[in-house]
Amino acid sequence: MDGGSYSPDQSPRYTVRYQDQEARKTEVMGRPFYRAGEKIDGSVIQHCPGGEIMVTDFGKDTFLRDFYEQTLADFKKAQAEGKGYSLPLYFYQAIQARETPDKPIVDGLITGEVQDTLKKKTGLYQRMLQRSNNQILEQTAQLPPLKNEKFSVGNYLALGYGVCRQQAVTLGACMERAINEGQTTDWVKGAEIRANLANPTDGHAWVALLNKNGVTYIYDPAQNYPGPEDLATSHWPYRKGYENHKFGEPGT
């Protein structure tokens, strides 16, 4: 992930470490800045200065809404056929199938290099066309560099590319909506998007869910880990920066 300026607090949690983001200015964004435990839908999410500012809005983001509704319908069909999926795992796998983790493309959207290449319709255009439709590529080509710019998270679903932060935001938004709609009774208190740094240059994002027995589960499409937080010893230091955090309580 892109780095940014540091605040005096060197916490590994992005929302504590970075304090000078434009994304935090509600009067500028027109939306609240997301912190773990708050509502995802309707917020803006930027893990550190210099990245894109992801907008989550089911009311306006047709790509995100269509993905949610179709995946939920497919899940219900699979359930009716007696297939043993859990809802978060079904969304998790659908996101993995939809968004290829191509960091050069995601980073290139931030710098504008991808937009410049798409305008020329050279090799990258043809490669992306295999996962994206022509219309979304034409629209993307006209965008400014996404550094510190708002960009709907559903656009990554339409493009077919996304790294950990796009995958986590998409999964968190979908599970929050499903829980709030009563589509599952196995999970409580919504969903949390969490992110931290293992060291000053190595960052990651994932989703945490709380089951009805009070156990926190990690759903991490990018590193392919779905399971209890306590058993995730060989994937990522998920607890780092969240040692005292209480699920669903911002600021803890």
> Of the candidates 244, 163, 200, 159, which has an alpha carbon nearest to the alpha carbon of residue 14?
200
* pLDDT range class, residue 3, cuts 50, 70, 90: very low
Query: What does the alpha-carbon distance between residue 248 and residue 208 come to, in Å, rounded to a whole number?
Result: 10
* Cα separation, 212 vs 181, whole angstroms: 16
How is the chain split into domains, by residue range?
1-252
Q: Across the chain, what does the average pLDDT equal?
A: 93
Give pLDDT tens digits for 88-112.
999 999 999 999 999 999 999 999 9
Task: Write down the pLDDT at residue 233.
Answer: 81
pLDDT for the residue numbered 229 = 94
At residue 5, the pLDDT reads 42
**pLDDT by residue (tens digit) across 165-223?**
999 999 999 999 999 999 999 999 999 999 999 887 889 999 999 999 999 999 999 99
Instruction: State residue 235's pLDDT score.
Output: 83
Residue 6 has pLDDT above 80, yes or no: no
Distance, CA of 29 to chain centre: 18
Residue-level pLDDT at 9 = 62
Q: Which residues contact 136 (CB under 8 A, 6 or more apart)?
A: 155, 158, 159
Strands (E), 139-200: 150-152, 187-199
What does the block give as tokens for 89?
A: 């795992």
What pTM was computed for the model? Answer: 0.94
Taking the C-alpha atoms of residue 134 and residue 132, their distance in angstroms, rounded to an integer, is 7
2 vs 163: CA distance, rounded Å = 12
Residue 90 near residue 78 (C-beta atoms within 8 A)? yes
